[in-house]
Amino acid sequence: MLKSYFKIAFRNLIKNKGISFINITGLAIALASAILIILHLGNELSYDMQHSKAARIFRVLTIDKALGVSSNLVGITLPGIGSAMKEEFPEVKESVRLSRSGKDLIEYNNNTLYTKDLVYAEHSLFKVFDFGLVSGDKNTALTAPNTAVVTETMAHKIFGDENPLGKTIKVDNNIDVEIVGVLKDIPSTSHLAMDIVISLLPDADDSNFANYLNSWNNISMTTYVLLNKASSKNSVDSKLEPLIRKNNVKKNFNVTLQPLKDIHLKSSDILFDEANQAKSDIGFIYSLFAVAVFILIIASFNFMNLSTARAATRSKEVGLRKVVGAMRPQLVLQYLGESVLLCLISLIFSIALIEIFAPVVGLDVSPFKYFVEHPLFVFILLSGTVILGLLAGTYPAFVLSRFQPSKVLKGTVKNSKGGIWLRRVLVVVQFTTSIGMIIGTYIVYQQMDYIRNKNAGYNREQVLVLDLNDQALQKNSESLKNEIQKISSVGGISFSSTLPGRGFGRTGVQPEGYSSDKDIWILSIMSADESFIPNMKMKMIQGRNFSLDFPADKQQSVIINEAAVTSLGWKDPIGKKFNASSQNPLTVIGVVKDFNFVSMRHKVEPLMIVDQKPSNNTMSIRISHGKIPETISSIERIWEKINPGHPFEYTFLDDEFNQLYKSEQSFSNLISGFTWLAIFIACLGLFGLSSYMTEQRTKEIGIRKVLGASITSILFLTTKQFVVLVLFANMVAWPLAYYFMNKWLQDFAYKINIGIETFIVAAVVTIVIAFLTVSFQAIKAAVTNPVKSLRYE
């Protein structure tokens, strides 16, 4: 019995080559797309899940509700809170504090290099997380001051083939650090990036650092806690405010716990989150999953469309089989089997496509290897494909098996109104989905383009950045500047403590006119020299910039931005003071036009700029257009002359800016690519359906041509119903797309307005695509000799 089912199924596939090709191609592309998306989503959802205690690990976040702050959640917290939670809360089993240093100079045997992700951490790092050591003892690692573990990759860079254990490296030309362990390379699915971890312990005579680690008066440390039970989170959360108030933390601060599993995907609104460099957004996950579902729906509807359209041509087969004794369940099983077989064949082809296109979605593992290592996923994949085949083939199977032999053999089932209306509904659903995806893709593109090209309040083009992050480099900074500015293609040089996009600090202030008892103000803060504002091409809108003609600027002056003026309500800010009751009050000398110094997901917050030379360890060099390579070479020669032994490394400010939106850009590219695949799959089905329907009207077209119908009128006749369906699909898709995309845009403080032109573009694109798809078969039929058409059948 099964053998005959397979025989009939293969014969039908071969007999209807065109329809079979369309179905298999569409399903293969859809399955490959869906699997690639699911693998990508699985990778995103697996962040930090390699830790056995992941469900019980939480990050301590600070909630800052001070005046002047609009982004309230920050990823760092009070240094003393971790150890206090462990001591006072029975629900807390362990805590660990980390302080990210990032890029630091490492020296070993007169060879120097920069780290990328240097971190200071407590020994309890190995109790909370499952970071393993290749060599060394986890029980004693990081238990002594000035000891460190290095990753395998960093160990090879520093020591080559030498055994790192017991070796000493110099960090920032200042600290001698002993290597006590080699850390397994951190998985790419960890939000914590580390290449060297140094013990977060003070020397015996360093009372200042010891006091800092137990302080409650600044927000500066990344802290994680391990609970005895994950369900204790709410209980711990309720105890946090009484704990910090007991330690005299200001009333504008509060703290809360964030589950480890949420850090990668639910931190887009969190500032001071430098440890979480690769963070994405849970909204991207939902959107991409929806795309995978939509693509499968479109491919399934293609199958149902073409199967129901072909039902009439198989009606005599059904009638004859029923006459010779075939039962309806047997026929249902036959046609469901054909549908499942088609899906399984498509799955085989999709595997090949997956191997080819895996890098497109950022998968760094071979899908085939992944399948071998995850048999459960293979089982789910096969089961899902079979279910997809059953669902896609259900309607055609039951329609075909329902035909009555007496009506079939009389030829009265060819024009089933139910089948026609089903096909119309399926076409509308397909194109509603495709149009919605086009609109969504276009809006994502517009938003990303808006972010890239919006006037951020400064000019980031052609600005080369040098980090002077140790004392020797800072000591030579003026000599370096004097030599570099002799290069004719250098348009300006400035020094600052940070740059837009890198994150600014925050500080508590008492503005003039406000009570220190009632009003707690916190402003973002940076330090910059007198050249910074003109070099960044920022605009002063009131007052003046820092100037060497006013030596007091170094200690007594401050520049604020427009957002600060607005928030403080100062009509005439020039001359106003901050901290007037202190020994060194700051006087406002100027107002700079607002500029975006964090991601455009956040509003520009009130900012104060001071000029404190010891903090200005970032050098920005503006280069003339078209002279970048030779200018970099000249700067490198000067660097090597003035700073021998320090590697010459640089970045460009616009590249750093683009990194802020790396996840958004990746999401935009994925959505765009899979949207066009979805449209292609929909058009494949439309092509097959139009081909079949044109074939059904061959005689009618021949008669119309004999009676004088033009090619244009025949083209209009055969395409109008599809164009009408696509127009109707647009009407359905527009409000749905507007609702969901408007919701997506709410995450951005600065965003585009969704205009009617977006929907018009989507309508024109889909109508043109549908028309071109259908008209190919229509024109072919229209130009056919009517004599041949009338001989048809």
pLDDT digits (tens, 9 = 90+) for 740-779: 999 888 888 788 899 898 999 888 888 888 877 777 666 7
Higher pLDDT, 535 or 402: 535
d(CA 496, CA 595): 15
Digit-coded pLDDT (tens) for 359-397 = 776 666 667 777 777 788 888 888 888 888 887 777 666
Q: Which amino acid is at 630?
A: E
Residue pair 501/657 in contact (Cβ under 8 Å)? The answer is: yes
Selected residue with higher pLDDT from 418 and 497: 497
3-state secondary structure string, 176-188?
Answer: EEEEEEEECCCCC
Strand, helix or coil for residue 683: helix
pLDDT digits (tens, 9 = 90+) for 468-523: 988 888 899 999 999 999 999 999 999 999 999 888 888 889 999 887 667 789 99
pLDDT in tens, 175-222: 899 999 999 999 988 999 899 999 999 888 888 888 999 999 889 899
Say how far apart CA 664 and CA 452 lie, in whole Å. Answer: 12
Across the range 717-743, mean pLDDT stands at 87
Contacts of 117 (CB under 8 A, 6+ apart): 100, 102, 193, 194, 195, 196
pLDDT tens-digit series, residues 438-448: 898 889 888 88
Region 424-444: what's the mean pLDDT?
85
Mean per-residue pLDDT, 231-247: 94
Residue with the two structure tokens 């949420």? 262
Q: What is the pLDDT of residue 520?
A: 83
Smallest CA-to-CA distance from 289 within 24, 670, 754, 666 is with 670
Helices and strands counted in the chain (H then E): 26, 24
Entry pTM: 0.84
Q: What is the pLDDT of residues 542-563, one digit of tens each?
A: 999 999 999 888 889 999 999 9
Most confident of 311-325, 428-442, 626-640: 626-640
Q: pLDDT-based confidence at 640, cuts 50/70/90?
A: very high
Asked whether the CA dihedral 24, 26, 31, 32 is positive or negative, the reply is positive
Would you kindly state where each structural domain of the chain is located, as residue ranges? 1-47+278-414, 58-262
Amino acid 787: pLDDT:
58
Q: Which pLDDT belongs to residue 451?
A: 82
Q: How far is CA 67 from CA 101, 244, 566, 616, in A?
A: 29, 20, 12, 27
Percent of the chain whose predicted confidence (pLDDT) is above 70: 85
**pLDDT tier at 416 (50, 70, 90 boundaries)?**
low
Report the C-alpha gap between 61 and 477 in whole angstroms. 37
Axis crossing angle, helix 17-45 with helix 2-15, rounded to the nearest 10:
110
Least confident of 164-168, 351-355, 499-503, 611-615: 351-355
Written as one string, the DSSP assignment of 562-587 is HHHHHHHT-SS-TT-EESTTSSS-EE
pLDDT digits (tens, 9 = 90+) for 80-111: 999 999 999 999 999 999 999 888 889 998 88
The yes-or-no verdict on residue 8 having pLDDT over 70 is no
In 3D space, the residue among 589, 591, 556, 592 whose CA is nearest the CA of residue 575 turns out to be: 589
Tell me, what's the pLDDT at 318? 62
Measured between its terminal Cα atoms, the distance across the chain in Å is: 33
